[in-house]
Amino acid sequence: MRNLLQFIGKNIHLLLFIALEVVAFLLITHNVAYPRSTTLSAANRIVAGMNEAGDNIVEYFRLRKDNEQLNNEVCLLREQIQLLENQIEKQNEYGLVCDTAQYEYAHLGYRIIPAKVVDITTGQEHNYLTLNKGTRDGLKQGMGVVCGNNVVGVVSRVNEYFALVVPIIHTNINISARVKKNGQLGFTHWEGHNPRYVNLMEIGRHIMVEKGDSVITSGMTATFPEGMMIGIMDKVKLNEGGNYYDIRLRLCTDFRRLRYVQVLNYVYSTELNQLTDEQYD
Amino acid sequence: MNSTIKHILRFVCLLALQLLLINNLHWLGAFHPYVYVLALLMLPASMPRWVEMFIGAAIGLLMDACCTTAGVHMAACVAVAYLRPLLLGQFVQDTQRIVTQVCTATVGARPFLLTVATLIVVHHALICFLEAWSLEHFGWLLLTTLISSAVTFVLAFLYDRTQQ
């Protein structure tokens, strides 16, 4: 016993060091893939509040870029209004026959919740975004996040005031994707390093694809409606022995300049889940 | 007492610099200098080692919360806090005499710069590798570590100049 106490007394600093490192490693192993709670993350109310305060100062320096982005979106919306107006006009002219294909998008049943990015990391392998909206604004785990027509990521953790989003540039997330021109399905995978590019996996070698092809969301999950832009093919390589292409996509979303995003709330998610749950019961 | 306030003030300033400015600059998308570690490196050498380690753990946890990295900064900061007295002891005879802060003016240029350089590399390497949690991109992680460390070291050197 005395020897033990002596040993502890002699090595007290080493033991304390080991104890603290063990705590740190437990935290890492528990949280490295996906954060288990929002307490120890940037969605923590104090940290997110701090970031928001800092953001309010820096915001003024980015007004020009933000305006440009908003302007682009306004133009897009005007175009759509024009399209719909023409449609109504035609309807009035030719009677009550209605081309419902034009309204498909609205029938998909997504509500849009606008949010602001208060914190973002792009240089890590496990990147995160923090949004200034939480459960009280209707955000839930698993909702898709987009910026205009471009895919950003998926809501991972929510507390009352803030939400943590796993972006497409996170090594553990795959987003179901589709080659726009021929409908081929695949999924995205981020290798790390560069927040501008992701890889597109499992496009078989018999399929014709080339540089410049657009890749969109597949619509196979309720997270995103079909047709949101993911990226443009930037490098297409076919390995001698491989079954699949090596495809690199240039992301449409510029994560370094991401400021305002929209969270997609699929209105029928309860019904959908109910159905899939029934199937597995 | 005066010195305590100075250390706290320095930490707050470095934290603000880190979170508001450096984390928002994108150094070619890859290089991440963590200047906040300087607050830990410049603590007085006369401080009890267990206090130093707890301060390291607290600073690390705070940074983890800010960067959503859960434990990575804590592990790195605790390692730095543990190694610092050992390293300083190699260069300086009587560390207990340094009660204000560790800098060129108090411990001499060579011991200070060597200690700081070593610990910055250790700190940055731990953060890079633990955050990635795999050795898949070993070369890249090493490069990131070295360049980030170099940037932090230059900033530390310049800051030290102002402490004369």
Are A205 and A238 spatial neighbours (Cβ–Cβ below 8 Å)? yes
- ipTM, interface predicted TM-score of the complex: 0.88
The pTM assigned to this predicted structure is 0.76
Instruction: Please give the pLDDT value at position A107.
Output: 47
Which residues does A contribute to its contact with B (CB < 8 Å)?
Answer: 12-13, 16-17, 20-21, 23-28, 30-32, 35, 40-44, 46-47, 50-51, 54, 57-58, 121-126, 128, 130, 164, 191-196, 256
Subunit contact A256:B69, Cβ cutoff 8 A = no
In chain B, which among 133-162 make CB contacts under 8 A with chain A? Answer: 133-134, 136-137, 140
pLDDT mean over B79-86: 93
User: Which one of B63, B68, B73 would you mutate to disrupt binding with A, by most A Cβ within 10 Å of its Cβ?
Assistant: B68
Two tokens, residue A95: 């009677």
A49 pLDDT band (50/70/90 cuts)? Answer: confident
**Which residue among A57, A123, A128 sits closest to B32, beta carbon to beta carbon?**
A123
The pLDDT-based confidence of A119 (bands split at 50, 70, 90) is: confident
Q: Say if CB A238 and CB A159 are below 8 A apart.
A: no
pLDDT band at B29 (very low <50, low <70, confident <90, very high): low
Tell me what the mean pLDDT of segment B74-82 comes to: 95
Interval A178-228: pLDDT, tens: 999 888 999 999 988 788 899 999 898 888 898 999 999 988 888 888 888
> Is A26 in Cβ contact with B57 (below 8 Å)?
no
Do strands A163-167 and A150-158 pair parallel, antiparallel, or not at all (unpaired)? antiparallel
Is pLDDT above 70 for B16?
yes
Give the mean model confidence (pLDDT) for residues A1-9: 85
Strand, coil or helix: A12: helix
Cβ contact (<8 Å) for B66 and A193?
A: no
pLDDT over 90 percentage in chain A: 23
Residue with the larger pLDDT of the pair A190 and B102: A190
